[in-house]
Amino acid sequence: MAGFLETLSGPDARRLLSADATVIVPVGAIEQHGPHLPLAVDHIVASEAASAIVDRLGDELNVWVAPTLPYSKSNEHAWSSGTIWLSNDTMLRVLDDIARCLAFSGVRRIVFLNGHGGNSTLLNVACREARLAHGLLTFLIHPFIPPAYAAPDPNAASETELGMGIHGGLRETSVMMHLRPDLVDLSKAVRNVPEWMADNEHVKFGGTVQFGWLSNDFGTVGHIGDPTGASAELGETLFDSSVDFLCEQLREISSFDFQPTE
């Protein structure tokens, strides 16, 4: 069965959090997303994706969703009021504590469901550390693959974003218009695409060279992309296909185990 960890009683948790259970730990963020979106975008997307997974999986898999971690590694937005971020050391310690508690409860598989692209590198480290320290099978999945860390999906980005709608652009704005339309003010949306990087072969978002950046390196508006063409209809399509893909991933995760050669 699928459900929410926080709703279980202690005895139920002892019974249901068995070695064949998978616990999803959604990881969000509270950070600026430009003038047209709220600080809670990544927290909302991670939480809503986790809830949709529970709805769709039903009794198919033994999956439990932990409460969403609201704060994470967001210091690329530290310049902006309202952004709340954890240091690398604090975040790794928090994730390790969560993993330790779940291992103590009898769980073998934990999945970090990451709603904020800036967490990706650190969450990969956390997966390795929890594997070593607690013997857990650890996994990292995303509602949307962070464009800053992978080649852009041509089906998810508008041509006007040049593959660089990485933060508060068309995709995130559309998804928020679907999930929380009351929190989106499209009248404040403007195009902010770093066209000067588009012709680079390697040093660009989705290129072969990773580079350090802060969101205000691309101007004080805060977002990076072109949200002006966003729509709730596009957001619904993107979100539904994402949840379908997450459920497909979890079906494989739930039966994954290492098979060392002799």
Tell me the average pLDDT of the chain. Answer: 94
> Averaged over 22-35, what is the pLDDT?
98
Q: Which domain holds residue 163?
A: 2-253
Query: What tokens appear for 188 in the block?
Result: 């404040």
pLDDT of residue 35: 98
Query: Which tens digit of pLDDT belongs to each residue from 100-156?
Result: 999 999 999 999 999 999 999 999 999 999 999 999 999 999 999 876 665 555 444
- Does a structural domain hold residue 261? no
Return the pLDDT at 146: 77
Provide the pLDDT for residue 155: 47
pLDDT score at 145: 81
In this prediction, residue 149 carries a pLDDT of: 64
Q: What pLDDT, on a 0 to 100 scale, did the predictor assign at position 150?
A: 58
- φ, ψ for residue 152 (rounded to 5)? -65, 145
Rg (CA), the chain: 19
Gap between the Cα atoms of 77 and 73, Å rounded: 10
> Can you read off the two tokens belonging to residue 12?
């139920």
Predicted local distance difference test score (pLDDT) of residue 153: 53
Which residues face 2 on adjacent strands? 63
**Does 262 fall in a domain?**
no
In a domain, 259, yes or no: no
In a domain, 20, yes or no: yes
> What percent of the chain is modeled with pLDDT above 70?
95
CA 99/CA 123 separation, integer angstroms? 12
pLDDT higher at 147 or 11: 11
Asked, for residue 71, whether it belongs to a domain, the answer is yes
**DSSP state at residue 67:** P
258 in a structural domain: no
- Report how far Cα 126 is from the mean position of its chain's Cα atoms: 14
Residue count of the chain: 262
Instruction: Express each pLDDT in 35-91 by its tens digit.
Output: 999 999 999 999 999 999 999 998 899 999 999 999 999 999 999 999 999 999 999
C-alpha closest to that of 216 among 167, 175, 173: 167
The answer to whether the predicted template modeling score (pTM) of the entire model surpasses 0.75 is: yes
pLDDT for residue 59 = 86
Instruction: Give the number of domains in the chain.
Output: 1
Over residues 229-257, mean pLDDT: 97
The percent of residues in the chain predicted with pLDDT above 90, rounded, is 87
- Residue 96's Cβ-count burial label (10 Å; 0-12, 13-18, 19+) is middle
CA torsion angle 247 252 253 258 (round to 10): -170
Q: Specify the pLDDT at position 148.
A: 64
- CATH, residue 168: 3.40.50.10310
- pLDDT digit string (tens) for 170-202? 999 999 999 999 999 999 999 999 999 999 999
